[in-house]
Amino acid sequence: MVKSMQESKGDKMFLLGTYVYLCMALVVVLYPLIYILSASISSPQAVNSGQMWLFPKDITWAGYELVFNNPKIWNGYLNTIIYTVVGTLLNLAVTLPAAYALSRSDFVGRNWFMGFILLTMFFSGGLVPTYLVVKNLGLIDTMGALILPVAASVWNIVVARTFFQSTIPKELQEAAHIDGCTNIKLFWKIVLPLSAPIIAVMALFYGVGHWNSYFSSLIYLNSESKYPLQMVLRQILVLQEMSAEMNGAGVSGEVAQAMNSKAETASLIKYGVIVVSTLPIIAVYPFLQRYFVQGVMIGSVKG
């Protein structure tokens, strides 16, 4: 049908413009990705002197060797996976029921509850009081410190609530009730199966958050065995960058020498680390992306 319609000159020009524009956008998005991949396997000298600008030059795997030979990386990976999986499951277990309850117009006092929940979006306790709460709960230096304080995100509750409001018709709920369905069962058997998109979106939002988070581990954790991947990677980077900030005072000659021998591989490691830490997320993203667009769209179109 579309084919048979004559495209006007203006349309053609528009299409052309669109393609050019999209190509430019593609380059802008793709270039840094390729650059980082290439830089992670090029010799540091080529990268620093600007000879490597797109494709790898003087290929070396030393950066990845250093990253993967570090036993802490694997421990960090394991920890991060634990934090991400357990944390995300808990997030979903808290967010979805709360959002559904708040989406029901027959829930008495829902505006009152919603108001209180929203309040925390605008006013938070601040770093030190939060730290004190976590400390008094006995969570310092436990894995729980990274999971429990961030169990619910108000923003995500609001998004999920909007989704439920706009996609689950009231009639469905009434019909179920007439057939003798309880609220719990309604949620489990009817609402959740209809909400795959929002579950995927929430899982992705929370999952990425857990994966990338390092600040709370920095604040609450003391023992290295519990560090997530991001902390371990940061440490590796910092060690390499110590050479850059060196000056006469405060460093001994031996350290300077050691740092110098490492400075060579510093940039290698830097890019290797970026690849290692983002690859899993990039790999998961395409599978969730379908839901992602769907879920966010539905939530946003209707109020």
Query: Which positions lie near another protein, rule CB under 8 A?
Result: 44-45, 48-49, 72, 127-128, 131-132, 135-140, 184, 218-219, 222, 224-225, 231-232, 234-236, 238-239, 241-261, 263, 266-267
Closest approach, Cβ 93 to another protein, in A, equals 11
- CB closer to another protein, 30 vs 127: 127
Rounded Cα distance between 10 and 250, Å, is 69
Nearer to another protein, 110 or 234 (CB): 234
Say how many C-beta atoms besides its own lie within 10 A of residue 300's C-beta: 12
Q: How far apart are the first and last CA of the chain?
A: 35
Residue 173 neighbours by CB under 8 Å, 6+ apart: 104, 186, 190
Pick 113 or 292: Cβ nearer another protein: 113
Residue with tokens 């000159």: 9
Minimum CB–partner distance for residue 42 and another protein (Å): 12
Chain Cα centroid distance, residue 203: 10
Judged by beta carbon, residue 111 or residue 182, the one nearer another protein is 182
CA dihedral 134, 140, 145, 149 (to 10 degrees): 10
Per the structure block, which two tokens stand in for 116?
């209180």
Give min distance, CB of 57 to another protein, in A. 13
Taking the complex as a whole, how short is the minimal distance between the CB of residue 35 and another protein, in angstroms?
Answer: 16
At its nearest, how many Å lie between another protein and the CB of residue 247? Answer: 5
**Total residues found in the chain within this entry:** 303
Q: Tell me whether residue 72 or residue 110 sits nearer to another protein (CB atom).
A: 72
DSSP 244: G
Which residue, 4 or 252, is less far from another protein as judged by CB?
252
Q: How far apart (Å, rounded) are the C-alpha atoms in residues 138 and 165?
A: 38
Q: How far is the CB of 297 from another protein (least distance, A)?
A: 35
> Which residue type is seen at 227?
Y
The answer to whether residues 143 and 85 touch, using CB atoms and an 8 Å cutoff, is no
